[in-house]
């Protein structure tokens, strides 16, 4: 059988083997409920505390500032809705027009309930600038939410600058760091954010688990009522196995972060050079400061959907945009936001390389693209 080349790591990543192995005992042997007072619950309780500490250390937070959730979507919902509903006086939210739907749809939901939301537009390079935020923010703004790095074009945002603007105006700052955590350095003290969303399956952890960092003292409504789990902020029996797996995966990614970044960036350079050497004209979206290996390419006059399916037939998995948008044949809201022309937008694909990819994978991707694009021209 032909080897599958997986180049859609922004959609999800392969589970780290050490994380997988660390999860097994919590499913088969130490399956006690961490909330119970007896001895059999002690180990899961300790594992929960250890995982919280490990994750907190990776992002320079305190353990009590880490709240486990079911993933990025839940963390984003909680940050947006929980802060809107926590303050009767400051009701306005500012976000960007090219956030993930988990943020955008949460914003639409609070708008339907009468909370004002304003949307910042990125530059053509995919950047949300501090002056743009400065021009929009007022003393009625409760929350600013801007993603750490865009999931379709990879642009890393000037989070510290944006956060500083929010704080000067007395607003909270949330960042959806789902694509960034485990791939670039993320330090909540350096950037100063009040809330940060993360999802384990984007950094080689299991699916269906994530966390929301909430800075100590931040006023936010609890996410779920019920038991006393997560300091009475998010009720529900904890998913110990997945939480342990997430902590191990994050720790492993952090320990190899610099090497991985260099390696993946070298694959990205090889891919772009390969396309140039094959004389394939392309536009690379997202500007100069992007996540390593997240490559948004536009081929004028080509059909991104058709390229995806042809690549699939050749055993190569890529994407046209965000994983969650793949059922939607319309031009993505991200490409619209950066005002990419329609001919380029329709011919756009996203390749997202990971540490599992090799130079041979990259050469095969270039070869496949060259073949497809030559045939369609």
Which one of residues 323, 336, 367, 371 is an interface residue with ligand PLP (CB under 6 A)? 323
Tell me if 65 sits within 8 A of 193, measured CB to CB: no
Q: Is 347 in the site for ligand PLP (CB under 6 A)?
A: no
Residues 237-296 that bind ligand PLP (CB under 6 A): none
Which one of residues 22, 102, 267, 340 is an interface residue with ligand PLP (CB under 6 A)? 102
Q: Is 178 in the site for ligand PLP (CB under 6 A)?
A: yes
Q: Is 325 in the site for ligand PLP (CB under 6 A)?
A: no
Q: Is 179 in the site for ligand PLP (CB under 6 A)?
A: yes
One-letter-per-residue 3-state SS of the chain: CCCCEECECCCCCCCCHHHHHHHHHHHHCCCCCCCCCCHHHHHHHHHHHHHHHHHHHHHCCCHHHEEEECCHHHHHHHHHHHHHCCCCCCCEEEEECCCCHHHHHHHHHHHHCCCCEEEECCCCCCCCCHHHHHHHCCCCEEEEECCCECCCCCEECCHHHHHHHHHHCCCEEEEECCCCECCECCCHHHHCCCEEEEEHHHCCCCCCCEEEEECCCCCCCCCECCCCHHHHCECCCCCHHHHHHHHHHHHHHHHCHHHHHHHHHHHHHHHHHHHHHCCCCCEEECCCCECCCEEEEECCCCCHHHHHHHHHHCCEECECCCHHHCCCCCCCHHHHHCCCCHHHHHCEEEEECCCCCCHHHHHHHHHHHHHHHHHHC
Q: What CA–CA distance (Å, rounded) separates 91 from 114?
A: 9
Annotated catalytic residue 284: no
Residue 16 vs 364, nearer CB to ligand PLP: 16
Residues 23-82 that bind ligand PLP (CB under 6 A): 71-73, 76
Q: Is 199 in the site for ligand PLP (CB under 6 A)?
A: yes
Residue 151 vs 298, nearer CB to ligand PLP: 151
Q: Is 322 in the site for ligand PLP (CB under 6 A)?
A: yes
How many residues line the site for ligand PLP (CB under 6 A)? 16
Q: Is 361 in the site for ligand PLP (CB under 6 A)?
A: no
Provide, rounded to whole angstroms, the least separation between the CB of residue 80 and ligand PLP.
Answer: 12
Select the residue whose beta carbon is closest to ligand PLP and give its number. 72
CA dist 333 → 26, 28, 305 (Å)? 41, 44, 16
Which one of residues 122, 182, 206, 210 is an interface residue with ligand PLP (CB under 6 A)? 210
């949307």: which residue's tokens?
Answer: 119
Q: Is 205 in the site for ligand PLP (CB under 6 A)?
A: no
Q: Which stretch binds ligand PLP (CB under 6 A): 171-179, 183-191, 275-283, 345-353?
A: 171-179
Q: Is 151 in the site for ligand PLP (CB under 6 A)?
A: yes
Q: Is 13 in the site for ligand PLP (CB under 6 A)?
A: no
Q: Which stretch binds ligand PLP (CB under 6 A): 80-88, 173-181, 250-258, 311-319?
A: 173-181
Which one of residues 52, 81, 100, 215 is an interface residue with ligand PLP (CB under 6 A)? 100
Q: Is 194 in the site for ligand PLP (CB under 6 A)?
A: no
Which one of residues 8, 30, 176, 194 is an interface residue with ligand PLP (CB under 6 A)? 176
Provide, rounded to whole angstroms, the least separation between the CB of residue 279 and ligand PLP.
Answer: 33
- Active site positions, annotated: 324
The binding site for ligand PLP (CB under 6 A) comprises: 71-73, 76, 100, 102, 147, 151, 176, 178-179, 199, 210, 322-324
């Amino acid at each position: 059988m032909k080897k599958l080349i997986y180049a859609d790591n922004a959609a999800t990543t392969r589970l780290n083997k050490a994380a997988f192995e660390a999860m097994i005992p919590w499913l088969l042997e130490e399956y006690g409920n961490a909330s119970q007072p007896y001895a059999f619950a002690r180990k899961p309780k300790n594992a929960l505390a250890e995982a919280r500490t490990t994750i907190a250390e990776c992002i320079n937070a305190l353990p009590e500032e880490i709240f486990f959730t079911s993933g990025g979507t839940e963390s984003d919902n909680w940050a947006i809705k929980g802060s809107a509903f926590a303050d009767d006086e400051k009701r306005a939210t500012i976000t960007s027009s090219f956030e993930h739907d988990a943020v955008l749809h949460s914003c639409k939901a609070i708008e339907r309930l009468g909370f004002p939301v304003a949307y910042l537009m990125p530059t053509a390079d995919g950047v949300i600038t501090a002056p743009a935020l400065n021009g929009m923010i007022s003393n009625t703004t409760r929350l600013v939410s801007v993603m750490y790095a865009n999931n379709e074009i990879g642009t890393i945002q000037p989070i510290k600058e944006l956060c500083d603007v929010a704080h000067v105006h007395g607003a909270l700052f949330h960042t959806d760091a789902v694509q960034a955590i485990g791939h670039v350095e993320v330090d909540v003290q350096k950037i100063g954010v009040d809330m940060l969303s993360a999802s384990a399956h984007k950094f080689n952890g299991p699916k269906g688990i994530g966390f929301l960092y909430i800075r100590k003292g931040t006023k936010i409504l609890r996410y779920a009522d019920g038991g006393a789990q997560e300091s009475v902020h998010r009720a529900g029996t904890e998913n110990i196995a997945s939480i342990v797996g997430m902590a191990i995966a994050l720790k492993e990614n952090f320990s190899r972060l610099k090497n991985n970044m260099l390696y993946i960036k070298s694959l990205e350079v090889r891919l772009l050079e390969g396309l140039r050497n094959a004389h394939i004209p392309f536009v690379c979206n997202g500007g100069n400061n992007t996540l390593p290996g997240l490559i948004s390419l536009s081929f004028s006059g080509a059909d991104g959907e058709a390229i995806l399916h042809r690549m699939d037939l050749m055993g190569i998995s890529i994407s046209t945009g965000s994983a969650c948008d793949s059922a939607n044949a319309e031009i993505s809201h991200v490409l619209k936001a950066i005002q990419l022309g329609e001919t380029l937008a329709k011919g756009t694909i996203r390749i997202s390389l990971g540490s599992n990819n090799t130079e041979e994978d990259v050469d095969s991707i270039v070869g496949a693209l060259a073949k497809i694009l030559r045939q369609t021209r």
